[in-house]
A and B are shown apart, each in its own frame.
Chain A
Amino acid sequence: MGVTQQARRAVGLAGGMTAILMAAACGSGGAGEPGAPAASAASAAAGGPVTVEWWGWAPGYDKAAEAWNASHPDIQVKYTQIESGAKGGYQKMLAAVKAGNAPCLGQVGGETLASFLVEGALEDITGYAKDSNAKFQQWAVNSVTFGGRQVAVPVDSGPMGLYYRKDIFDKHKIEVPKTWDEFAAAAGKLHAADPKVFLTSFNPDDMYGFSGYAWQAGANWFSTSGDAWKVSITDEPTLKVANYWQGLLDKKLVDVKPAWSDAWFKDFTDGKIASLVGAVWMTKVLEDSIPKTSGKWAVAPMPSWEAGTTVTGNVGGSPNAVLKGCAHPKEAVEFATWLATDPGAFDDLVVNGGLFPTSADGTSLPAMKAPRPFYGDQPVFEVFSEAARTVAPSFGWGPTTPVVNDAFNSAVGEVVTKGGSLADALKTVQEKAVASIKDKGLSVAEG
Chain B
Amino acid sequence: MRGGGKTNRAALVFLLPFGTLFVLFFVLPIGYAVNESLYKLKRSGLGFGTPERVFSGLANYAAVFRDGTFLSGVRRLLLFGIVQVPIMLGLALVLALILDGYAARFTRFFRLVYFLPYAVPGVIAAIVWSFLYTPEISPFGLDLLGDGVVLWSIGNIVTWTWTGFNMLVIYAALKAIPRELCEAAAMDGASPWRVAWSIKVPMVRPSLILTGVFSIIGTLQLFNEPTVLTGVTTAVSKSYTPLMWSLQVALDNNDYSLGSAIAIVLAVLAGALSFLFLRLSAWLTRRGVM
**B102-140 CB contact bits vs A (8 Å, 1 = yes)?**
000000000000000000000000010011001111000
Query: Does the CB pair A436–B253 fall under 8 Å?
Result: yes
**A1-14 CB contact bits vs B (8 Å, 1 = yes)?**
11001000000000
Query: Does the CB pair B147–A1 fall under 8 Å?
Result: no
Residue picked from A147, A403, A413, A440, most chain B C-beta under 10 Å: A440
A118 contact set on B, CB distance < 8 A: 43, 46-48, 51
Query: Does the CB pair B46–A1 fall under 8 Å?
Result: no
In the bound complex, CA of A94 to CA of B253 (Å)? 11
B237 contact set on A, CB distance < 8 A: 406, 409-410, 413
- Distance in Å from the Cβ of A196 to the closest Cβ of chain B? 12
B255 contact set on A, CB distance < 8 A: 439-440
Question: Among the listed A149, A261, A412, which residue makes an inter-chain contact with B232, where contact means beta carbons less than 8 Å apart?
Answer: A261
**Which of A222-230, A330-338, A368-376 interfaces with chain B?**
A222-230
A439 contact set on B, CB distance < 8 A: 63, 253, 255
Asked whether B42 is an interface residue with its Cβ less than 8 Å from the other chain, the reply is yes
**Which of A47-55, A103-111, A262-270, A377-385 interfaces with chain B?**
A262-270
CB contact list, B15-66 vs A, under 8 A? 40-51, 63
B127 contact set on A, CB distance < 8 A: 1-2
Q: Given contacts A118-B47, A441-B42, A442-B44, is CB(A406)–CB(B239) below 8 Å?
A: yes
Query: Does the CB pair B47–A261 fall under 8 Å?
Result: no
- Distance in Å from the Cβ of A94 to the closest Cβ of chain B? 6
Query: Which residue of A is nearest B150, CB measured?
Result: A417
In the bound complex, CA of A262 to CA of B137 (Å)? 9
Query: Does the CB pair B46–A224 fall under 8 Å?
Result: yes
Q: Given contacts A228-B46, A267-B136, is CB(A1)–CB(B232) below 8 Å?
A: yes
- Distance in Å from the Cβ of B211 to the closest Cβ of chain A? 30
B147 contact set on A, CB distance < 8 A: 414, 417-418
Query: Which residue of A is nearest B236, CB measured?
Result: A413
Query: Does the CB pair A402–B253 fall under 8 Å?
Result: yes
In the bound complex, CA of A115 to CA of B253 (Å)? 9
**Number of B positions contacting A (CB below 8 A):** 38
In the bound complex, CA of A224 to CA of B47 (Å)? 11
- Distance in Å from the Cβ of B246 to the closest Cβ of chain A? 13
Question: Among the listed B43, B63, B231, B251, which residue makes an inter-chain contact with A1, where contact means beta carbons less than 8 Å apart?
Answer: B231
In the bound complex, CA of A436 to CA of B239 (Å)? 15
Question: Among the listed B43, B49, B252, which residue makes an inter-chain contact with A440, where contact means beta carbons less than 8 Å apart?
Answer: B43
CB contact list, A417-442 vs B, under 8 A? 417-418, 435-436, 439-442
Query: Does the CB pair A1–B45 fall under 8 Å?
Result: no
Asked whether A258 is an interface residue with its Cβ less than 8 Å from the other chain, the reply is yes
In the bound complex, CA of A440 to CA of B235 (Å)? 28
Query: Which residue of B is nearest A227, CB measured?
Result: B45
Query: Does the CB pair B234–A416 fall under 8 Å?
Result: yes
Asked whether A443 is an interface residue with its Cβ less than 8 Å from the other chain, the reply is yes
A224 contact set on B, CB distance < 8 A: 46
**A246-266 CB contact bits vs B (8 Å, 1 = yes)?**
000000000000101111001
Asked whether B281 is an interface residue with its Cβ less than 8 Å from the other chain, the reply is no
Asked whether B254 is an interface residue with its Cβ less than 8 Å from the other chain, the reply is yes
In the bound complex, CA of A2 to CA of B126 (Å)? 10
Question: Among the listed A5, A405, A435, A443, which residue makes an inter-chain contact with B67, where contact means beta carbons less than 8 Å apart?
Answer: A435
B252 contact set on A, CB distance < 8 A: 402-403, 405-406
Q: Given contacts A205-B234, A409-B238, is CB(A119)–CB(B48) below 8 Å?
A: no
Query: Which residue of A is nearest B237, CB measured?
Result: A410
In the bound complex, CA of A120 to CA of B43 (Å)? 10
A410 contact set on B, CB distance < 8 A: 234, 237-239
CB contact list, A209-260 vs B, under 8 A? 224, 227-229, 258, 260
**A146-164 CB contact bits vs B (8 Å, 1 = yes)?**
1101000000000000000
Asked whether B228 is an interface residue with its Cβ less than 8 Å from the other chain, the reply is yes
Question: Among the listed B47, B67, B248, which residue makes an inter-chain contact with A442, where contact means beta carbons less than 8 Å apart?
Answer: B47
Question: Among the listed A5, A88, A267, A409, which residue makes an inter-chain contact with B234, where contact means beta carbons less than 8 Å apart?
Answer: A409
A436 contact set on B, CB distance < 8 A: 253
Query: Does the CB pair B228–A1 fall under 8 Å?
Result: yes
- Distance in Å from the Cβ of B153 to the closest Cβ of chain A? 13
Query: Does the CB pair A442–B135 fall under 8 Å?
Result: no
- Distance in Å from the Cβ of A204 to the closest Cβ of chain B? 5
Asked whether B141 is an interface residue with its Cβ less than 8 Å from the other chain, the reply is no
- Distance in Å from the Cβ of A102 to the closest Cβ of chain B? 14
In the bound complex, CA of A146 to CA of B46 (Å)? 10
Asked whether B86 is an interface residue with its Cβ less than 8 Å from the other chain, the reply is no
Asked whether A400 is an interface residue with its Cβ less than 8 Å from the other chain, the reply is yes
- Distance in Å from the Cβ of B244 to the closest Cβ of chain A? 10
In the bound complex, CA of A266 to CA of B48 (Å)? 44
CB contact list, A63-117 vs B, under 8 A? 88, 91, 94, 115, 117
- Taking Cβ atoms with an 8 Å cutoff, the residues of B that contact A are 40-51, 63, 67, 127, 130-131, 134-137, 146-147, 228, 231-235, 237-239, 248, 251-255
A-B contact pairs, 22 of them (CB 8 A): A94-B254, A115-B254, A117-B48, A118-B43, A146-B48, A147-B48, A224-B46, A227-B46, A258-B232, A258-B234, A261-B232, A262-B134, A263-B136, A399-B46, A405-B252, A410-B234, A410-B239, A414-B234, A417-B147, A417-B233, A417-B234, A441-B41
- Beyond A263-B135, A442-B46, A442-B47, 4 additional contacts (C-beta under 8 Å) are A224-B46, A227-B45, A229-B46, A442-B43
List 3 A-B pairs, minimum CB-CB distance, nearest first: A413-B234, A118-B47, A410-B237
- Taking Cβ atoms with an 8 Å cutoff, the residues of A that contact B are 1-2, 5, 88, 91, 94, 115, 117-120, 146-147, 149, 204-205, 224, 227-229, 258, 260-263, 266-267, 399-400, 402-403, 405-406, 409-410, 412-414, 416-418, 435-436, 439-443
